[in-house]
Amino acid sequence: MREVYVVGVGMSEWGEIWQKSIRDLFVDAARAAISNAGVDRLDSLYVGCMSGGLFVGQEHIGALMADYLGMRGLPAVRVESACASGGMAFRQAFLEVASGASDVVMASGVEKMTDVSGDGCTDALATAADQEYEVFHGATFPGLYAMMAHAHMARYGTTREMLSAVAAKNHRNGAKNPVAQYPFEITAEAVSKSVMVADPLRILDCSPITDGAAAVIVTTKEVAQKLKRPYIKVLGSAIGTDSIALAQRADITTIKSATIATEKALKMAGKAIGDIRFAEVHDCFTIAEIMVAESIGKFAPGKAGEAILSCETSLEGKFPINPSGGLKSKGHPVGATGVAQIVEVYKQLTGQAENGRQIPKSPTLGMAQNMGGSGASSVVHVLEVAG
């Protein structure tokens, strides 16, 4: 396989974007990535999109986006893996360049979630859960993650204070991110006192409903060097899966798919988890960040909450998690999230994180972990400074 590099990134505005359509958001991000990379062509396009049909009544996403980008005829494919659709799109672009099939590929993701009612959005998101054994009986994702939180609390003594610390930390980071949906700080006390959604999870434990898109340019070393723009290397890429239904898992206090994907990605990269300097992880709920931090092997089971309370995962800590603000503050347009994680890793590794969000001491190795639903699918990428 050939070496693969990321040479340019772009994002649209994120939030409740009433004045723009799903295609507008995609084009904004795609054009920004093309301009940032300085490329004059694309060989193919992958678009992560979870539920375009349910959110905006639009399927056939790949061809539509190629058309509105002004590139009719371009090979373009939609990729779906629930909330991991963006990360999976990036993996497909990586594999296409690594295989030698193409030299310049765009990996992108997009979702327009606010064009339906709250109930409609809940129904669309619920398609990532087990319809027969969970959704039919009334389970929603806040409810599923609440069960995971209760199990984690019962086994390891995880506390309300630990959950609140995740949200407060991510909002501190997101307050410095110019594209964040919620670019403001919140206190741990405010999180703990916010409206209950599914005990023990409160509204400020939950990522928001978001419109947005993200895109990155994936290419060869030769092309990256010719462009004379900052670039980073993709060292490892891997996928893991697990049962969709929580009731069919051996242990709901861990994310097995994330463990599988991390171990494989690290093996491919020739690295150990101790080598990784920071990570963007899938914090759809505060408990998810705690569980993922343990599942990727960075912290022992039951120890991530303590690490968050002691600021080990802050920007200045030993292992920063979600310097972008994560899904909690930056937002979570489900098809775009995984690509936006790559955008943040690119910025951190090339020293371009805005507004004082740059991790100190110039990190050289980062990780992105993106997952679908309650963790039935997970994709992990390991990236490093090119040199």
My answer on whether omega of the bond before 200 falls inside 30° of 0, hence cis, is yes
Helix axes 256-269, 286-295, angle to 10 degrees: 50
Query: Are 9 and 27 a contacting pair, CB within 8 Å?
Result: no
> Which residues on adjacent β-strands are paired with residue 344?
none
Give first-to-last CA distance, the chain, whole Å.
19
Cα separations (Å) of 140 from 50, 67, 125, 143, 147? 17, 36, 8, 5, 11
Query: Are 239 and 379 a contacting pair, CB within 8 Å?
Result: yes
Neighbouring C-beta atoms of residue 347, cutoff 10 Å: 20
Q: Give me the DSSP letters along 31-52.
A: HHHHHHHT-S--SEEEEE-S-H
Cα separations (Å) of 123 from 54, 129, 138, 191, 328? 9, 10, 11, 26, 20
Query: Are 272 and 266 a contacting pair, CB within 8 Å?
Result: yes
> Is 83 one of the annotated active-site residues of the chain?
yes
Dihedral over Cα of 333, 337, 339, 340: its sign: positive
> Which residues on adjacent β-strands are paired with residue 117?
none
Dihedral over Cα of 248, 249, 255, 260: its sign: negative
Tally the C-alpha atoms within 13 A of residue 375's C-alpha that lie toward its C-beta: 29
How far is 111 from 78, CA to CA, in rounded Å? 12
Q: What is the largest CA-CA distance in the chain?
A: 56
Task: Indicate which residue of 49, 83, 121, 206 is catalytic.
Answer: 83
Q: For residue 38, give the 3-state DSSP assignment.
A: coil
> Is 284 one of the annotated active-site residues of the chain?
no
Task: Indicate which residue of 152, 171, 332, 381 is catalytic.
Answer: 332
How far is 19 from 8, CA to CA, in rounded Å? 26
Helical segments of 57-159, H only: 61-68, 85-99, 118-125, 141-156
Active site (catalytic) residues: 83, 332
